[in-house]
Chain A
Amino acid sequence: MKLDAKIPKGSLGEKWDNHKFNLKLVNPANKRKFDIIVIGTGLAGASAADSLAELGYNVKVFCFQDSARRAHSIAAQGGINAAKNYQNDGDSVYRLFYDTIKGGDYRAREANVYRLAQLSSNIIDQCVAQGVPFTREYGGLLDNRSFGGAQVSRTFYAKGQTGQQLLLGTYGALCRQIELGKISYNPYHEILEYVLIDGHAKGVVTRNLLTGEIKSHAAHAVIIASGGYSNVFYLSTNAMGSNATAAWRAYKKGAYFANPCFTQIHPTCIPQAGEAQSKLTLMSESLRNDGRVWAPKSKENAEKLRKEELKPKDIPEDDRDYFLERKYPAFGNLVPRDIASRAVKEVCDEGRGIAATGLGVYLDFSDAISRLGTVAIEGRYGNLFQMYEKISGEDPYKTPMKIYPAVHYTMGGLWVDYNLMTTVPGLYALGEANFSDHGANRLGASALMQGLADGYFVIPYTIGDYLAGLGFNKVDINNPAFAEAEKNVKDKIEKLISAKGQRTPDEIHRELGKIMWEKVGMSRNEAGLKEAVEEIRRLKESFWKDIKVIGEKDNINETLEKAGRVIDFIELAEIMAIDALERPESCGCHFRLESQTEEGEAKRNDNDFTYVSAFSYEGEENEPKMHKEELKFEFVELTQRSYK
């Protein structure tokens, strides 16, 4: 199948306007004749659900959590970008577009990214109208800060809890539509299968996580907003429940999976403490506005710091290496995430890492505190400092934080066209679940922007174009495709629950995570990737022999849930490794050791790799097939990123 992104014609500024005009509309009175399923209640899912319900569609929402308000968007700390230019510092839609496409190392579509920048302003207006308490200045206007990779202050924030406040805003709108009867709300439900009729998405099969009930749901269109797949790595900053199952099962029904190897490693997370560690905690990138990253210049000092024979304050200024400021004088501590992460890794590989494991560097606020005072720093980062102290037991007002990179976000995801439709007609993917806007690296404060742009301002327009061509007949739940899908789901659950292996889902998951972190992590090479593919395949083969699940299938059973998600992670890991192997260039977060400049920076190969890779499922017995969507750059010139 040839991938058609359906990019509208015209100049960058005209594309979305032209497209909106050309999209077919559904008459207001007819909207209630259409049923739409939304999977996931994070920023993308909830904003799509409530916007569609407000338009008059019947919306059915599912989330695996006990409440829509717990979706992992809640954990986003730093902020949300918008090209408002409130600070009079030279920002514009074009600049936000340019920063985002450059930050993504020219592996995203111009048209999508420009639309995102255009819509960014509307998002802030919407959230403020909902009562989202953004941080303000003394004059009562909204405050902004600059955020990783940007030289203007365009990031709006609600202290260090921006994701929480934005999510609660859209969750409120969701609650309102539930109360009005326009949304059917189904927490504690997991999507295990999609139903296709004549090649179009017409429903899903769910498992009620409390009762184990397997049930079909019919609709005219299905929206996947189930987030990313960082938990393939076992340890990541994602929530424990974040999983790839909804996206992966869509892949197995014919939706292509794009750029699976593009995974973002966030530079500022709290270092791992031991084997029992269950997840990693991110410390917002905003901290790099005032925190200075450093490591000792000498290995000897590093050794003493690791053994706690020295304290960070014992290291004199001259013996400290503020390596981001040294290597990237123009951007300093604010270089994009991929660059910062690799620099930290390099320092630790040289043996200059601190923390007990040697896998850590300092993020030091002492200069900012003496310049601005403790009160100002507390105002900016109070809750983050508190969070750090609770986890690490150390007070960052007195001693520098210890940080190390961790997997945080996945730019890859289900392939979608400009309308956010996957390769399966009627099946859409929004937010982190799709691949579309961040290229090979996402800039800070852009995930919230994209999730809400997709949900509030893109899907309400584009879905109508599809629905308008369908006719008003209800989807027949008695179609044999539903019974067949239910049977597949039941068989798989039966297979899991009757498995007689000896390894727990977590044990297998940890093994997968180790393979991925070591061989498909921050830097990758051909030999390692080939090994990874082999190891993942072995793990996939032995899974059904090794897995151990106990308990009942018709009651809440976390082990059963976990086992089902782990096998999906393993299968997804395989195409991540294959994708990384088949892209021997470095770009953004994807650093191939074979492709670097003399200074050790990522070296793109635009002649051969300016494309999106998209994988199709070809059956259990066959290898997935890679398709290419060529990326055409009509408006920006491809340059080698330099933050020096």
Chain B
Amino acid sequence: MKVTLNIWRQKNVSSKGRFETYEVDNIDEHISFLEMLDMLNERLLKNDQEPISFSHDCREGICGACGLFINGRAHGPMRGVTTCQLHMRMFNDNDVITIEPWRAKAFPVIKDLTVDRTALDKIMQGGGYVSVNTGGVPDANSVIIPKLIADEAFNSAVCIGCGACVATCKNASASLFTAAKVSQLALLPQGYPERKYRARNMIDVMDGLGFGNCSNTYACEVDCPKEISVLNIARMNREYLKSIFVSLYS
């Protein structure tokens, strides 16, 4: 296979970026998209050109490090996959592929395709946890949780923190990311004691970091590699409203 790549190059956060065009030839269709970029980087390095910076780590779709905006889609054309799970057989010979970094005010570009996503850590620090110290907790089976509820909490908990929801949202909103954690802990009894502060605190942090609001386009659900449902956002909004209108003592 052969492909033509238009790749965003940017030296650092303060410099202006531009697209550059590269051709990659002799690609086996069974290799992954990132391995194709490895081939290109290896060639650039051999020719004394600086390789393209992009984030990646586990390369099996679970760590959330990778994230490229490919032909206008976060994580590319396939549903339910991360960038590292894309394989070249999903593209055609002689395709022209445009690769950009995540673009959002809260995700400044560090270099080329690598962006700074520490804003997501900050949202989690705003309350994405249950306040229990190590030790002194009850036996694991002392609290029973209906399977349906546990499974639903799990479905929210599978978020990998890649930021695709932000990148694909026209408002650069982190609502799906935040809602996934709020939801998981609102569903589980362990999350109950702090329920009323959690949604409010996390949303306040999110708003303060420059993420936009949700306007229900559902693009986040479409591009989420873990296919997390927008219903989580509805649940988060309910949690938020309750935190305002319902007494903390009720």
Enumerate chain A interface residues (CB-CB to B < 8 A): 47, 50-51, 54, 65-70, 72, 74-75, 84, 86, 122, 124-131, 133-142, 158-159, 161, 164-165, 168, 171-173, 175-176, 178-179, 185, 187, 210, 239-241, 273-274, 276-279, 281-282, 386-387, 390-391, 393, 456-457, 460, 502, 504, 506-507, 548, 550-551, 555-556, 558-559
Contact = CB atoms under 8 A, between A and B. Distances in A.
A504 B42 contact: yes
A529 to B, nearest CB: 30
Given A141-B144, A179-B125, A276-B35, A135 B28 contact: no
B197 interface: no
B117 interface: yes
Contacts of B184: 131, 133
B237 to A, nearest CB: 21
Contact of B157 (A86, A168, A173, A175): A168
A84 B141 CA distance: 10
Interface in B72-102: 80-81, 85, 87, 89
Given A172-B130, A555-B111, A187 B118 contact: yes
A38 B48 CA distance: 37
Contacts of A502: 46
A86 B144 CA distance: 13
A122 B57 CA distance: 31
Given A67-B121, A131-B191, A210-B110, A548 B30 contact: no
B85 A126 contact: no
Given A130-B129, A140-B145, A165-B157, A278 B35 contact: yes
Contacts of B49: 550
A133 B153 contact: yes
Contacts of A75: 58, 60, 62-63
Contacts of A551: 50-51
B248 interface: no
A239 B51 CA distance: 20
B140 interface: yes
A68 B190 contact: no
By Cβ-Cβ distance, the 5 closest A-B pairs, closest first, are A172-B129, A140-B144, A129-B137, A133-B154, A51-B134
Nearest to B50: A551
Given A72-B63, A136-B150, A175 B124 contact: yes
Interface in B182-202: 184-185, 188, 190-191
A126 B135 CA distance: 7
Given A278-B34, A550-B48, A390 B61 contact: yes
A210 B114 CA distance: 11
A502 B125 CA distance: 45
B25 interface: no
Interface of B: 11-12, 28, 30-32, 34-36, 38-39, 42, 45-46, 48-51, 53, 55-65, 80-81, 85, 87, 89, 110-111, 114, 116-118, 120-121, 124-126, 128-135, 137-141, 143-147, 150-151, 153-154, 157-158, 160-161, 184-185, 188, 190-191
B27 to A, nearest CB: 8
Given A136-B145, A159-B154, A456 B42 contact: no
B3 to A, nearest CB: 14
Given A126-B137, A274-B28, 20 more contacts: A47-B134, A50-B134, A66-B117, A72-B58, A75-B60, A125-B137, A125-B139, A126-B135, A133-B150, A135-B151, A136-B146, A140-B145, A179-B125, A185-B121, A274-B31, A276-B36, A278-B34, A279-B60, A457-B135, A559-B51
20 contacts: A50-B134, A69-B124, A75-B63, A126-B134, A128-B190, A133-B151, A133-B153, A134-B150, A136-B145, A140-B146, A172-B124, A185-B121, A278-B35, A281-B59, A282-B60, A387-B61, A391-B85, A457-B135, A506-B42, A550-B49
Contacts of A70: 57-58, 63-65, 161
A126 B118 CA distance: 27
Nearest to B111: A556
Contacts of A276: 28, 31, 35-36, 38-39
Nearest to B150: A136
Nearest to B121: A67
B61 A86 contact: no
A69 B150 contact: no
A140 B188 CA distance: 12
A103 B105 CA distance: 52
B36, B60, B87 — which one has the most chain A CB atoms within 10 A of its CB? B60
Given A129-B190, A274-B28, A390-B81, A504 B62 contact: no
Given A129-B190, A274-B31, A161 B158 contact: yes
A391 B87 CA distance: 7
Contact of A131 (B30, B118, B125, B190): B190
Contacts of B153: 131, 133
